[in-house]
Structure formats: C-alpha cells, structure tokens
Amino acid sequence: MRWDSPAAAKSVRASAADETALDLADVPAAVVCATCGQPDCSGCDAALDEPTQGSGVMAIIPWERPGQGLLVRWWSTAHLATLNHRAFFAGLPDGPWRPALTFALVSELLAVTGLALTALLLSMPFMPWLPRLLLHDTVVRQAMVEALGWGIPGLALVMVGLHVLHGLFTDRAAQREGSRRRGRGLRFGLYGCAWDVVTMPLGLVLVALTDGLAGVSKALPLGLTAPGQAVRGYLASVHGLSPDQARAATRRAGRWTGGALLALLLLAVVIGSALAS
C-alpha cells in the first residue's frame, strides 16, 4: 500500500484517533491542555512557568493557571468540570483551597443570577403588569431589589456550602470503605459548583455559543448524572477504591448530603416562621 494513497491516509487517521482515545482513558490529565482545557491542543503558552502544588503535580486546572483572562479561565474550567467531569475529577490535583473557593463563588453567583433572570422572563406572559408596577411603584421596586440583592448571594452561598459538604462527605465515605489516602474533598466540592452553572440557563446559552446544539444536548442531563460519575472517578483515582467500593461510597456521600440539605430546609422553615410571627 502506498503511504500517500487515500486508503493509507485514512488508516493513519484512524490509528491516531484510537491512540488519542486510549490516552484519554488511561491518563486523562495528561491529554487535557492545562491552559485552554482542550484535549486536542498541542500545548499553548508553553513558555509560561508551570505552577506546581505541594505534591509536585502540575496544576492542570485552567482556573489556577496564569496567562489568560478571568472569563476564559473560568469558562474553560467550568466546561471541563462538567462536560468532561469524570476525567477532570479523577485527575484533580492537590492545591490551595482559596482559588477553588473563588471559582465556586463566581460559578454559583452566575448560576443563581441566570436562574433568577430566566424566572422573571418566564413570568412575563403570566404577569404582564409586573414591569409597569416595578416602574411606577417605589415600594414594590425597593422590595424586589432587596429580595434579589439578598436572595441571590444568599442562595449562592448555600449552594457553595452544600457542595463543600458533599466533597467532605465523599472523603469520609471513602475512609469508611477502607481508604487511607489523603483526600481532596474540599477542592472536589468547590470545583463541583461548575455543574450548577453549566447545566442551568446561563451556562446552556454559553454552551450553545461555544459547542452548538450538540453541546447543549450533552450538557442538559449532566446536572443529574455528572455528580455521581465524577465522584466515582475521583474515588477510584484519588482514593484507589474498587468499583464496588466507589459505588457504595458514592451512595453514602449522597445520603449524607441529602440529609444535610433536608436539615437546612427545616432550619429555613423554622427561621422563616419565627420572623413572620
């Protein structure tokens, strides 16, 4: 077979694709560009210094890399953590918690803001008088501003807290299954906030702009499926658990997080009742 023939070229392309898929399955962190977050990147900004953490592992999270704008780093990280969640969290490196906390706060604020705007837009056909009322009634307008001003940051903080608990519960559940390794549950929980923003209205709009409708159809169900798959990948890679142990730990962490959410809702009801009376 001639190497410059169409058949040979097709064979070479197929072989290269197989090798890329094999690399992604075996060593996910090595084939994802640390700067732009794309698996097919040949290495951009190679001249930048490689920041490493205490473990000596290079920072592969775009948010923690220098050299690009805030929005680019945020969206690259949110995109990776959601649409490539299993590989992202399986290769989650050790590192400081402050950058992860900043990422979580930005993500949840954007997620809740986008959700509030969507709710307002969807309510317009049922309340066509609302814009005129807000425009002319100072009391109603002030109440709306205060509700949004307190509600959006408050709900964002609650969501960040729940993700933190989920990450810490995941490490605890891994220990119950026999893991003796040092976990990264706090960073896992904080970067898990990406699921909320990408799978909600604002994130889906961004996915449509960057990945098209195919990306939207892929992202839509990930709000339900990504957490469990990401936890199992994290437990298998970071804690070295078997598939059965990882599944058991995932269920246990989910139950504990659900219990914390229920307790939080009950507390909110009690506080709301006390304030109303």
Mean pLDDT by runs of 10 across the 277 residues of the chain is 46 42 40 50 44 47 87 94 93 92 96 90 85 83 86 94 96 95 94 94 90 89 90 95 95 94 89 79
242's enclosing H/E stretch is none
103: nearest Cα among 116, 121, 119, 88: 88
Q: What is d(CA 50, CA 43) in angstroms, rounded to the nearest whole number?
A: 12
Q: How far is CA 227 from CA 85, 99, 137, 156, 222, in A?
A: 8, 21, 44, 18, 8
Name the 3-class secondary structure at 52. Answer: strand
Q: Which pLDDT score, from 0 to 100, does residue 45 have?
A: 43
> Residue 70 CA to chain centroid, in angstroms?
16
Q: What would the two tokens of residue 234 be?
A: 């994290």
Q: How far is CA 273 from CA 158, 267, 268, in A?
A: 19, 10, 8
Q: Which pLDDT score, from 0 to 100, does residue 63 have?
A: 94
Region label for 87, one of left (φ > 0), alpha (ψ between -120 and 50) or beta (otherwise): alpha
Q: What would the two tokens of residue 138 be?
A: 């100072």
